[in-house]
Chains A and B, each alone.
Chain A
């Protein structure tokens, strides 16, 4: 059934919008086919496809270390993790497709540089310990976001997030396990772990997005049940959970201003370098060009494969009809 996407110029827009918002307030899920504001659809397509792109691009920084994993077990675990990321991208593209956009179009937007993805993946993975730190910090940040999104009002997105949450915890734990091990390991392992924390801490904090005062989309996303917490709220939760554990492991954080505030129970952090964040978002980070180039190449080199399977399927359908 073709879905109905309402715009303010529709005669019944206000009435329908009121009922739509009442449904969300009642805790109902909006499903493909239901009326929704075109703006809701637009925001969701943007968020979901960005999220999907992040998973797919996110395969690259850790994927680079599969061929250098130092034990059979770690290799297997890393392959499983990166495979999950592909799977998560896949679930998310599916959720976006229910809103009437084709996967081909989303991929084109990514490869032409129009669509964004989480800028944290524009940093390089320089050592094996980066794999552990990404699992611990980057996936740790992602989990906070995903847990919130699992309650999202749009059915397909909520379902994708619930499935992703169930799988993501393993990512977080295996990363944490690795870093804790190396923090107590050989001198080389300890130095490697600390160095990785030093490089990934700030990019992880930036993952949760600009400060609330610099986030224009938040209000409508909250009203329509897409977001239930603000960026700063999520960031503070993340810091409060991870700082004590990192310190307990005998590691330090690259933030000279970091201090605990007993009156709020919060760990207060130093200023985030938003200039760096916006540069990376704009495409000037250390790995932006390489990441996109890798995806473009995979897409281009895979074209003949995709065509071959289409051709085979068409032949089979013709012979089925002919019989």
Chain B
């Protein structure tokens, strides 16, 4: 593998993993505080799956550069993280969390469908594994968006507020990272522009069916994963606090 392709692949795997780690973290904040027991159980399932996905992606990176996944997750500073801004946003209310999860799950399911054909076998295999869980997540959040959108005036209003806030951020899911074009050329990852078409089509149809309006002004649309929201620093401070408290510890 050419070194610039390898570098690009390492960066992409890191971005994929970082999205899962931070989103899982935000979702995990609901544990014990969900609107009903059954939904606590449901969201905890999504969290475990996402942590598993992060582990898979970082495992692939480890094969390339020997890096330790836990070291990457618990000892990188905010400016070294490569997650998108959408996942950093605070969890908000239940509508906010369900909408974000839907937008993300739809993107991920479409991306993984295509990524199963990656010319890089380990990535193809990982995608094949992850998509099984992702399909269930999407069914779940798809159902929630419909129910909250069509439920009561209040649930519709809250979901609309969430969409107004998130729509612009969600577009960043389709912004390639530096070097990604090399990976696309090699057939290692899908072309995000194509994924975006499918995502726009499915999401706008479903959101409209749910009784929502797409925001006229999408708001801020981040274009880089190098700079983050104000939230990431504090999020990481909490997330990494135990690990950093005893940095000598090799095993937890």
Main secondary structure of the interface of B (DSSP, over half): helix
Bound Cα distance from A68 to B234, whole angstroms: 12
Counting CB contacts under 8 A, is A128 at the interface?
A: yes
Q: How far is the CB of A1 from chain B (nearest CB, A)?
A: 27
Partner of A307, one of B41, B58, B152, B246: B152
Bound Cα distance from A73 to B152, whole angstroms: 40
Known contacts: A83-B40, A83-B45. The answer to whether A309 contacts B147 by CB under 8 A is yes
Nearest B residue (CB) for A185: B249
In the complex, the answer to whether A83 meets B35 with C-beta atoms within 8 Å is no
Nearest B residue (CB) for A309: B147
Question: A41-70: which have CB < 8 Å to B?
Answer: 56, 59-60, 63, 65-70
In the complex, the answer to whether B34 meets A189 with C-beta atoms within 8 Å is no
Bound Cα distance from A315 to B242, whole angstroms: 48
Cβ–Cβ < 8 Å partners of B69 in chain A: 72
In the complex, the answer to whether B51 meets A67 with C-beta atoms within 8 Å is no
Known contacts: A67-B238, A309-B147. The answer to whether A302 contacts B51 by CB under 8 A is no
Counting CB contacts under 8 A, is A155 at the interface?
A: no
In the complex, the answer to whether A60 meets B249 with C-beta atoms within 8 Å is no
Residue with the greatest number of chain B CB neighbours at <10 A, chosen from A63, A79, A90, A186: A79
- Mark each residue of chain B from 24 to 36: 1 if its CB lies under 8 Å from any CB of chain A, else 0: 1100110111111
Bound Cα distance from A315 to B150, whole angstroms: 9
Q: How far is the CB of B191 from chain A (nearest CB, A)?
A: 30
Interface of A toward B, CB cutoff 8 Å: 56, 59-60, 63, 65-76, 79-80, 82-83, 86-87, 89-90, 93, 128, 178, 181, 185-186, 188-189, 294, 297-298, 301-312, 315
For this complex, 24 residue pairs linking A to B, each with C-beta atoms less than 8 Å apart, are: A59-B31, A68-B238, A68-B239, A68-B241, A68-B242, A74-B252, A76-B55, A79-B47, A80-B44, A83-B48, A86-B32, A86-B40, A90-B37, A93-B37, A181-B252, A186-B248, A188-B246, A189-B249, A302-B34, A302-B35, A305-B148, A307-B152, A308-B148, A312-B146
The 3 closest A-B pairs by CB, nearest first: A302-B35, A308-B151, A308-B155
Interface of B toward A, CB cutoff 8 Å: 21, 24-25, 28-29, 31-41, 44-45, 47-48, 51-52, 54-55, 58, 69-70, 73-74, 93-94, 146-148, 150-152, 154-155, 158, 238-239, 241-243, 245-246, 248-249, 251-252
Given contacts A71-B243, A72-B51, A188-B246, 12 further A-B contacts (CB under 8 A): A67-B29, A68-B239, A70-B74, A70-B249, A72-B21, A72-B54, A79-B28, A83-B40, A294-B33, A301-B35, A302-B94, A304-B154
